[in-house]
Amino acid sequence: MKKTLDTFAGPLSRSNPITTQVLGICSALAVTVKMDTALVMSGALVFVLVGSNVIVSALREVIPSRVRIIVMLTIIATLVIFIDELLKAYLYDISKQLSIFVGLIITNCIVLGRAEAFALKNTVWESSLDGLGNAMGYGLILLLVSAARELFGSGSLFGFQIIPDFLYVEHGGWYVNNGLMLLAPGAFIILGLLIWLQRTINGYTEE
Amino acid sequence: MGALRTFLDRIEPHFSKGGKWERLFPLYEMVDTIFYVPGTATAVAPHVRDAVDMKRSMFTVIIALMPALVFGIYNTGYQADPGAGFLQNVMTGGSAVVPLILVSYIVGGLWEVLFAVIRRHEVNEGFLVTGLLLPMTLPPDIPLWMVAMGISFGIVIGKEVTGGTGYNIFNPALIARAFIFFAYPAEMSGDPVWTLADDLTAATPLAVAASVPGDDAVSLVAAAGYTLKDMFVGLIPGSVAGTSTLAVLAGAVVLIVSRIANWRIMAGGLIGLVTAAILANLLAPASENTMLSLSPLYHGVMGGFAFGIVFMATDPVSAAQTDKGRWIYGILIGALCVMIRVLNQAFAEGIMLSILLGNAFAPMIDYFVLRQNIAKRQKAYAKQ
């Protein structure tokens, strides 16, 4: 039971795919300007990662090891195209903002990495937990980064104004949104601070 | 002074190991060494082979900054109202500049002491300079809370995350300035920010020189009323203390005579600037870009080049450490400054970014200088 819990909870913090393994950075920078895009992106990754882990794990006895990468990529690509079409049909605006980054989940190191490192060697149940844990670990960081970026960069969360209007310079106040947060370096800085915080809490040191 | 020494000696046991305020030792150490030269040697970089300690050398930098600061205060008032008298201008300038410096020192100082107490190291002397350099490079009109944000970022992200003074890759004051520049561009660039008066806009000479495509930069600057003499003396709109080449030169003399800043970096910067500007001049007839036609002399006295190369690029931690490396580092900064000014229309001024880029390259420059020296000596050894 302990091990099952670790499979799921480990990637949320101690072995987080972004802050510890430093995977999936590209999309973590690109889709975190606003929280809603980050949330949809995380949802898409949960679907793809759990799906690919379950399918790869179920087929692990029959996939010939020499062509396993191609087989896994085919499975992942199928899921990604499926979710991409789904977003285009039901969440067209957000899908436009996410643009190429949903499609790029195919090349997201986390997905292929978990299929290769975990799903090929473990049962379907464990693989689904591992996929869910990693995808949620990714989503958690995406939401934290995007919350900071949207709050300081645009003064809102999920598009709702948080910092009151009267504080802004345009309305007679003094506050100005932080433009750096809208640029990619802003995500790097927030991500770095998160890693700092996490390592301080977990007591992680570089070997 | 004797009474102060006795007092400091009497309270010392409370702060040293085992005392009740042991954790606050950095504070005691800071006060003690400000008033008295300590008997210990500096343990971490930057090392200077001299009888002075880090605090004494940083104080010398502060003294070198004084001409630029005093002139900057006067000029800030002068730009707001050229008609007012000298005293009035100093008062106006002071009431704008002194709060910037206070905010920078107080907020930055809080971060310094916080990290010193948590990490149990001494309060870093370099902060005396960092905390003064930042406000001197800002527009006089900048809101105080942005200064607080900037100095916090500079101290925490620019310095403490990489291990504190002696381990910072970039000049912390410039990191702070770059943060404000990219986070709040409306307060850091454009014509209205350079003067205190709300209804008065003033383009900096660099902005004027780039303003009309196809024209001649020198005549554009002249038409705006900026003479070469004004720009050399510094009676032009710009950042608080970065406008006066004359005052900066006075500071440069202090730094070079006291051997605290390395003259090779400054000379290299000048060579790089002149070479790049001459190359740009040669290309000028082929382009609509007026900045290409700006002569090296103008590049030298306009904007913050002099201030940057004398006070920022020579930071002993983030600059190159080998003599040959210092030449290359300086030339790189001077040339990049002209390139950014001339070729990138989004940035009227290039000295901040060029020094940061120079900082990034400094370790690599040193590495290759060292490798080359090793290779040379190996060759000499093999010949014997």
pLDDT digits (tens, 9 = 90+) for B270-322: 999 999 999 998 888 888 788 888 888 888 888 889 999 999 999 888 899 89
Q: Å from A190 to nearest chain B CA? A: 11
B222 touching chain A per CB within 8 A: no
pLDDT at residue B179 in the model: 92
CB-closest option in A174, A179, A196 to B145: A174
Contacts of B187 in chain A (CB under 8 A): 176
List pLDDT tens digits, range B188-198.
877 777 777 66
Mean pLDDT of A66-91: 91
Alpha helices in A16-118, H assignment, sequence order: 25-30, 35-58, 68-90, 92-98, 100-103, 109-114
CA distance A20 to B236: 51
Instruction: Count CB pairs under 8 A between chains A and B.
Output: 24
Mean pLDDT of B98-104: 93
Three-state SS string over A135-164 comes to: HHHHHHHHHHHHHHHHHHHHCEECCEECCC
Tokens (6 digits) for B307: 């201030």
What band does B216 get if pLDDT is binned at 50, 70 and 90?
A: confident
B13 touching chain A per CB within 8 A: no
pLDDT at residue B215 in the model: 73
List pLDDT tens digits, range A115-124.
888 888 889 9
Integer Rg of chain A from CA: 19
Tokens (6 digits) for B74: 């006067």
B119 touching chain A per CB within 8 A: no
List pLDDT tens digits, range B48-58.
555 566 677 78
Q: Same domain, yes or no, for B17 and B116?
A: no
Mean pLDDT of B29-40: 64
Tokens (6 digits) for A78: 């199928």
Q: Same domain, yes or no, for B61 and B29?
A: no
Supply the DSSP string of B106-159, one letter for each residue: HHHHHHHHHHHHHHT-PPPTHHHHHHHHHHHTS-TT--HHHHHHHHHHHHHTTT
Question: CA-nearest residue of chain B to A195?
Answer: B161
B178 occurs within a structural domain? yes
Contacts of A185 in chain B (CB under 8 A): 182
B44 occurs within a structural domain? no
Q: Taking CB atoms and an 8 Å limit, are A185 and B182 in contact across chains?
A: yes
List pLDDT tens digits, range A11-66.
877 778 888 878 888 888 888 888 988 999 999 999 999 999 999 999 989 999 89
Q: Same domain, yes or no, for B234 and B337?
A: yes
B184 touching chain A per CB within 8 A: yes
Q: Residues near B368 by Cβ (< 8 Å), separated by ≥ 6?
A: none
CA distance B214 to B16: 68
pLDDT at residue B315 in the model: 87
Contacts of A176 in chain B (CB under 8 A): 143, 146, 184, 186-187
Of the two residues B98 and A5, the one the predictor is more confident about is: B98
Q: Å from B239 to nearest chain A CA? A: 21
Q: Same domain, yes or no, for B58 and B29?
A: no
pLDDT at residue B134 in the model: 92
Q: Same domain, yes or no, for B312 and B169?
A: yes
CA distance B294 to B221: 10
pLDDT at residue A56 in the model: 93
Q: Taking CB atoms and an 8 Å limit, are A180 and B186 in contact across chains?
A: no
Mean pLDDT of B119-128: 76
Q: Same domain, yes or no, for B193 and B294?
A: yes
Q: Taking CB atoms and an 8 Å limit, are A180 and B179 in contact across chains?
A: yes
Q: Same domain, yes or no, for B192 and B339?
A: yes
Mean pLDDT of B339-348: 82
B176 occurs within a structural domain? yes
What is the domain range of residue B17? 2-35
B376 occurs within a structural domain? no
Given a contact cutoff of 8 angstroms between Cβ atoms, the answer to whether B97 and B240 are in contact is yes
Q: Same domain, yes or no, for B10 and B74?
A: no
Looking up residue B355, the CATH number of its domain turns out to be 1.10.3430
Q: Taking CB atoms and an 8 Å limit, are A178 and B183 in contact across chains?
A: yes
List pLDDT tens digits, range B235-250.
888 888 888 899 999 9
Q: Taking CB atoms and an 8 Å limit, are B183 and A174 in contact across chains?
A: no
Q: Å from A158 to nearest chain B CA? A: 21
Q: Taking CB atoms and an 8 Å limit, are A176 and B184 in contact across chains?
A: yes
Of A114-118, A190-194, B5-9, the least confident: B5-9
Contacts of B183 in chain A (CB under 8 A): 178-181
Q: Same domain, yes or no, for B294 and B238?
A: yes
B94 occurs within a structural domain? yes
What ipTM is given for this predicted complex?
A: 0.82
Percent of chain B beyond pLDDT 90? 35
B59 touching chain A per CB within 8 A: no
pTM: 0.85
Q: Residues near A187 by Cβ (< 8 Å), separated by ≥ 6?
A: A28, A29, A32, A145, A149
What band does A165 get if pLDDT is binned at 50, 70 and 90?
A: confident
- Listed by start position, the domains of chain A span 12-202
Q: Same domain, yes or no, for B138 and B262?
A: yes
CB-closest option in A176, A183, A196 to B182: A183
B47 occurs within a structural domain? no
Q: Taking CB atoms and an 8 Å limit, are A178 and B184 in contact across chains?
A: yes
Residue B41 scores a pLDDT above 80: no
How would you classify the pairing of strands A160-161 and A156-157? antiparallel
Q: Same domain, yes or no, for B252 and B296?
A: yes
Integer Rg of chain B from CA: 22
Contacts of B189 in chain A (CB under 8 A): none
Question: CA-nearest residue of chain B to A175?
Answer: B145
Q: Å from A27 to nearest chain B CA? A: 22
Number of domains in chain B: 2
Q: Same domain, yes or no, for B129 and B19?
A: no
B219 occurs within a structural domain? yes
3-state secondary structure of A168: strand
Question: CA-nearest residue of chain A to B178?
Answer: A180
pLDDT at residue A206 in the model: 63
What's chain B's average pLDDT? 84
Q: Taking CB atoms and an 8 Å limit, are B183 and A181 in contact across chains?
A: yes
3-state secondary structure of B63: helix
B380 occurs within a structural domain? no
